[in-house]
Amino acid sequence: MKRILSIFVYALAIAFNSIAQEKAKVIVNGLQLCDTYTRTQMYEALGGTPDKIEAEMEEPGSFWFYYGKDVFYWRYDGMDAYKDGINNHCFGGCRLCTDRYVVFDSIRVGDPVSKLKTVPGMTKDHPRKYKDGKCVGGGYVEWYQSEELRRDGIGVMFHYDELTKIINRIHIYVLFL
């Protein structure tokens, strides 16, 4: 009986491990979403010190890094937010409005939305919707690794110009629970 229980626990551990490894790997300028980095690593990947840093008032130890129009969110990841300055912070997302940064090692603001077909994973187009002649939403392509992981807490949206089909903004976020 102990042996059957051990085999069951071992098989369950393998299954959970493979699910965890399947989790989407979203990378921006070499930084993987949900991984932790030091301030030095952040600055190196993003091109130096930000123009402005704002502390997130509702989440002590979390910060918004502003690089012109581009914004990166860093979430506290540890016991003492200020022990090592802003070390051990989790990359929690970004809003990209310029072509300065690259997503998935190949996609930038300014690229045609059709370039998303070269990225492994799945996409769903959400074209603009109009009501009484006014835009009421849409105009983005949602990316996700697989149908099973579509609602894994990671959002990746490529907003585009409806006429030119050119990406004009990229929004990446994590739903921290």
Whether pLDDT at 17 is above 60: no
Share above pLDDT 90 across residues of the chain, in percent, rounded to a whole number: 45
Report if pTM > 0.95. no
Average pLDDT of the residues in 55-81: 82
pLDDT of residue 24: 54
Q: Does 78 or 50 have the greater pLDDT score?
A: 50
pLDDT in tens, 101-112: 999 999 999 999
- Return the minimum-mean-pLDDT range out of 9-13, 43-47, 131-135, 159-163: 9-13
Whether pLDDT at 67 is above 80: yes
Task: Classify each residue of 123-137 as buried b or exposed e, where b means 16 or more C-beta atoms within 10 Å of its C-beta.
Answer: eeeeeeeeeeeeeee
Q: Does 149 or 88 have the greater pLDDT score?
A: 88
Average pLDDT of the residues in 78-100: 74
Tokens matching residue 177:
């629970």
- Return the minimum-mean-pLDDT range out of 5-19, 81-95, 138-152: 5-19
Q: Does 19 or 91 have the greater pLDDT score?
A: 91
pLDDT of residue 87: 59
Compute the half-sphere exposure of residue 47: CA atoms within 13 Å on the CB side of its CA. Answer: 15
Average pLDDT of the residues in 158-175: 91
Rounded CA gap, 72 and 53, in Å? 10
